[in-house]
DNA sequence: CTGAAAGCGCTTACAG
DNA sequence: CTGAAAGCGCTTACAG
């Protein structure tokens, strides 16, 4: 059964294209079943308007022939691929692997497939996304990376609905779903205040995204409203290492903070490790540390991190709903911004009020 | 410019299919450029056999019209989609998010797109994969989940090359790429022996995969060769929690082990936390713990885990190479099994010999 | 309910 | 080098 595929030896060096052809098609099934190809098609698409008998014959012929529908052909004629592009940049963040998992699952449950796009930076986004759009994706989900206006236009041009997950932009008209980060920041401030803290620090993530800014603003504003101020501010690039570095700078101070709120759990873990191991700080007696996201490590006993949990499942469901609605409604209406409230998860890395 | 799309009001309730039609096609470009559609096609495919002038005219017309090639149509006629299916099950394991990231990146660099498949269990694999195969994927990468023979046949049937990543099976004829887990296990045994340990434990992962079995076998065999035996054995489901539970059982013993080798880092982190926090064990003085994979957390200072690093980049590159080769060579040849040596990463969770 | 026909947007021999 | 034509494998009005 070894390949004898050059039975005519004309141009033997012509590159052998993989022979996906010759797979059985609806025509073959039709021939075998003694019906028209349209009928076969009907059996495998809506399935309406068919005698049970016709369906049976076709199904049986298909079975015997080993027929497999070709989704690419269907996509071409239907103008919809059932594929959704998912762009996620901070692959290193466990929060995002969770997001990826939830999206692929939710999407599959609804009959969609996930094209996962790796777009580490702005430049590669500009290059890669237009290529991906050639696949006539039914939608594009952006979990990060800045969506330039040029890219937004590219999507509009190809009639591909876009949606921002976990961030929003105010200038462009693009739908978004995110957790209420302002509220999340406020909640942390309130809790820390109740715990009797006095010197507050915030460790920001690198990017100037709505997410990062809202967490900080929610935190600072609430402190201010309650007569306190944010005394320390550091920032990093959202990694564990950045959290370590920020903590080092913070704790070297003469009168260091007694409460650190980090823009995400990854940085909080770094800060906690440095505080404990390099400065001998006792958590939470000497210092409270709070994160955001509730990644799995937050609940590991080495951390037991008090944090703000994002309602990821809800956010994911909402995103998909908006996306598929957008596809059927077409463009036009103003950007939808859906904000979902987060929830404080109390563990033991922060002192709490005793009342 | 608001939608006036029901200019004839027959069947107004007929569901509005998103209008992806009417996007500019090669025919439109041809008309504008005053050439044939074939010529336009040539400009956007190989690009050979064309006067620079023709190309220019076409490109300009395309630009003005905002033409975007349709990859779905191309896929249909070429019989190749440039899409690769990636099946990864243990989403919760940071090792696999790294794997996903590397695959999407490497694939994109080579002109392929990643369809990420979420297949939590055997049942859903049997249901989901055949549906995905309808997209005429150019290949399928399996990082986990058992690939049933039925599924292997399904792939063969649709002429889709499959490859196993990080595991292998001996019965079916499917290519695989994995790290040399036997060797990895041996290395750990040697190191632990050199560190003067005496009571060895192995914490296995739940699944009876080649990966899990080889790590254990490599470890046990080498101990045996050097006159020691594996005294303790526990197993779990590859999660942090399973590592915790295993450690609890192990350390409750009268004469507990002084060295624990875990099938992966996630379990090792759990074991370490339990040992330290629940049993007050000093690491590595009283107990050495070793993992496998070298996930990011292994290097976090709370763990500083001695572990075995898989050569993931290499494995990924090798996988893609085999997959694309398979596609061009067609079926026939015996299964290729590529094993790549791992590397020991010394940190501080294990005592080492002083020589 | 079912068939014939047109068409989705491309690529690719086949002749010039 | 370039055009006309066939075809990839489907879906979907349009007539029966």
The predicted pLDDT at position A207 comes to 72
Residues of chain A neighbouring B247 (CB-CB closer than 8 A): none
Q: Nearest-CA neighbor of A172 among A192, A185, A154, A196?
A: A154
The predicted pLDDT at position A14 comes to 32
Residue A97 confidence (pLDDT) above 90: yes
pLDDT (tens digit per residue) in A168-193 = 888 778 899 999 999 999 999 999 99
The predicted pLDDT at position B21 comes to 61
The DSSP letter of residue B305 is -
The predicted pLDDT at position B17 comes to 34
DSSP SS3 for B334:
coil
pLDDT grade, residue A148 (50/70/90)? confident
Range with the poorest average pLDDT among A150-159, A286-295, A321-330, B128-137: A321-330
The predicted pLDDT at position B207 comes to 72
- Judge: A296–B92 Cβ closer than 8 Å, yes or no: yes
Nearest to A105 among B5, B100, B118 (CB): B118
H and E: helices and strands count for chain B: 12, 12
Residue A6 confidence (pLDDT) above 60: no
CA distance B276 to B287: 10
The predicted pLDDT at position B145 comes to 67
The predicted pLDDT at position A21 comes to 61
Residue A12 confidence (pLDDT) above 50: no
Locate tokens 């990895």: which residue?
B184
Chain C nucleotides close to protein (CB under 7 A) are 1-5, 7-13
* DSSP H helices in B2-137: 26-33, 37-44, 52-65, 71-78, 94-109, 122-133
Stretch A25-32: mean pLDDT, rounded?
Answer: 93
More confidently predicted of A248 and B53: A248
Nucleotide nearest to B51 (CA to C1'): D1
CA distance B201 to B203: 7
Nearest to B3 among A118, A276, A330 (CB): A330
Pairing of strands B175-179, B337-340: parallel
Nucleotide nearest to B136 (CA to C1'): D9
The predicted pLDDT at position A9 comes to 31
- Judge: A240–B330 Cβ closer than 8 Å, yes or no: no
Residue A10 confidence (pLDDT) above 60: no
Model pTM? 0.91
- Judge: A100–B81 Cβ closer than 8 Å, yes or no: no
Q: Would you write out chain B's pLDDT as a tens digit for each of its 355 residues? A: 333 333 333 333 333 333 466 689 999 999 999 999 999 999 998 766 788 888 899 999 999 999 999 999 999 999 999 999 999 988 889 999 999 999 999 999 999 999 999 998 888 899 999 999 999 999 999 997 678 888 999 998 999 999 999 988 887 788 999 999 999 999 999 999 999 999 999 999 977 788 999 999 999 999 999 999 999 999 999 999 999 999 999 999 999 999 999 999 999 999 999 999 999 999 999 999 999 999 999 999 999 999 999 999 999 999 999 998 876 665 556 788 999 999 999 999 999 987 5
The predicted pLDDT at position B49 comes to 74
pLDDT (tens digit per residue) in A253-311 = 999 999 999 999 999 999 999 999 999 999 999 999 999 999 999 999 999 999 999 99
Distance of alpha carbon A98 from its chain centroid, rounded? 8
- Judge: A300–B273 Cβ closer than 8 Å, yes or no: yes
The predicted pLDDT at position A4 comes to 32
Stretch A140-153: mean pLDDT, rounded?
Answer: 86
Locate tokens 């040596």: which residue?
B341
* CA-to-CA dists, residue B190 to B221, B228, B259, B305, angstroms: 11, 11, 12, 17
């Amino acid at each position: 059964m070894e390949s004898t595929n050059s039975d005519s030896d004309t141009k033997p060096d012509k590159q052998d294209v993989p022979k996906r052809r010759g797979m059985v098609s609806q025509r073959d099934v039709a021939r075998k079943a003694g019906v028209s190809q349209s009928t076969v098609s009907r059996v495998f698409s809506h399935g309406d308007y068919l005698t049970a008998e016709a369906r049976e014959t076709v199904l049986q012929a298909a079975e015997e022939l080993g027929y497999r529908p070709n989704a690419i052909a269907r996509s071409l004629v239907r103008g919809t691929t059932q594929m959704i592009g998912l762009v996620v940049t901070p692959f290193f963040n466990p929060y995002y692997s969770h997001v990826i998992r939830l999206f692929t699952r939710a999407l599959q449950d609804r009959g969609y497939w996930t094209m996962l796009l790796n777009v580490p930076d702005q430049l590669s986004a500009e290059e890669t996304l237009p290529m991906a759009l050639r696949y006539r994706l039914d939608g594009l989900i952006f979990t990060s990376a800045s969506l330039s206006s040029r890219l937004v236009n590219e999507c509009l041009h190809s009639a591909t609905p876009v949606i921002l997950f976990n961030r929003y932009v105010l200038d462009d008209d693009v739908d978004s779903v995110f957790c209420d980060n302002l509220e999340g920041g406020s909640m942390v401030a309130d809790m820390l205040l109740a715990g009797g803290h006095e010197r507050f620090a915030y460790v920001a993530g690198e990017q100037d995204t709505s997410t990062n800014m809202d967490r900080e603003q929610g935190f600072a504003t609430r402190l201010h409203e309650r007569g306190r101020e944010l005394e320390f501010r550091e920032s990093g690039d959202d990694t564990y290492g950045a959290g370590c570095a920020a903590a080092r700078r913070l704790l070297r101070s003469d009168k260091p903070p007694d409460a650190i709120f980090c823009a995400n759990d990854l940085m909080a873990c770094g800060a906690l490790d440095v505080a404990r191991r390099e400065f001998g700080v006792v958590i939470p007696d000497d210092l409270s540390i709070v994160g955001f996201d509730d990644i799995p490590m937050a609940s590991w006993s080495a951390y037991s991190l008090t944090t703000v949990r994002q309602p990821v499942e809800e956010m994911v469901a909402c995103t998909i709903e908006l996306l598929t609605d957008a596809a059927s409604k077409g463009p036009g209406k103003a950007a939808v911004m859906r904000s979902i409230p987060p929830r404080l998860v109390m563990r033991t890395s922060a002192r709490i009020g005793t009342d």
